[in-house]
Amino acid sequence: MIDHSRIMQQKDEKEYHLYHALCKRGITTFRDDENLRVGDRIRYTLLEAIERSRMSIAVLCKDCASSTWCLDELVQIMKCWNNGKNRPVLPIFYQVEPSDVRRQRNQYEKDMMKHEDRYGKDSHDIKAWRSALREVANLSGVTCTVK
């Protein structure tokens, strides 16, 4: 059983099917804020859920680097994978090439440059986000490029 999966901001039929297939198998899946209770502190609730997870599925789409929330979640997922907890991470590259994520090219490059303009190229967040993107793209995963 997987305790956490974040479907990253992709609103189409394929995402809908993936989400419902995971739920049908009893996998707790976080998508937007529908699993959060009113009054929850969203950021901390999601990061705590990641921390408690036994496994993470990171769905990376072409626009996920535009969201600092998604990037923060990815950093947390990779921390759990890296820091001795050895939590499995399954990356799904949805309509994006793993090499674009790894090297932060195309839309990933544009989004990261916007973040650099806002936070500064040498900020802790920028470095953590870039590192998490490289790390997750170096993992064996699934690439779905069918449109």
User: Quick check: 99 and 105 in contact, CB under 8 A?
Assistant: yes
Q: Is 73 a catalytic residue?
A: yes
Using DSSP's 3-state secondary structure scheme, residue 92 falls into strand
Q: What is the DSSP letter of 65?
A: G
Using DSSP's 3-state secondary structure scheme, residue 51 falls into helix
Catalytic site residue from 15, 73, 116, 135: 73
> What span, in angstroms and rounded, lies between the C-alpha atoms of 74 and 72?
5
Q: What share of the chain is helix, strand, coil (3-state, %, to 5)?
A: 50, 15, 35
Distances (CA, A) of 16 to 10, 41, 68: 9, 25, 23
Residue 45 backbone dihedrals phi, psi, to 5 degrees: -65, -45
Distances (CA, A) of 81 to 11, 74, 91: 27, 10, 12
Active-site residue list: 73
